[in-house]
């Protein structure tokens, strides 16, 4: 069962997938107004979900390009994928 943070990450991934799918559609249908409107709607939804996630859990990092250049360097502060989640052994 997913906790709230994991559910938020799944939701962001799903929205991101939909955005990529719409962009691919627009590559072959560049004048499709409905698809362009849908893309804008999903990008807005993604930005809202991302802001909510980062307010609750901190930076949302899925690839190295998502890492913010800041001092102190904090990318390595979170748990690593192979480390047990809190409360697990």
With beta carbons less than 8 A apart as the criterion, state whether 34 and 85 touch.
no
d(CA 1, CA 73): 32
Give yes or no for a contact between 46 and 16, defined as CB atoms under 8 angstroms apart. Answer: yes
All structural domains of the chain with their residue ranges: 4-77
Per-residue pLDDT tens listing for the chain (89 residues)? 888 988 999 999 999 999 999 999 999 999 999 999 999 999 999 999 999 999 998 878 766 666 666 666 665 666 666 776 666 65
Structure tokens at 83: 């480390």
Question: Does pTM surpass 0.75?
Answer: no
């Amino acid at each position: 069962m997913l906790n709230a943070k994991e559910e938020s990450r799944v939701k962001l991934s799903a929205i991101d997938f939909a955005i990529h799918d719409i962009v691919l559609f627009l590559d072959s249908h560049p004048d499709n107004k409905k698809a362009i409107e849908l893309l804008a709607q999903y990008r807005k939804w993604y930005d809202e979900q991302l802001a909510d996630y980062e307010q609750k859990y901190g930076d949302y990092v899925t690839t190295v390009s998502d890492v913010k250049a800041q001092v102190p360097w904090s990318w390595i502060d979170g748990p690593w994928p192979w480390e047990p989640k809190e409360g697990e052994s």
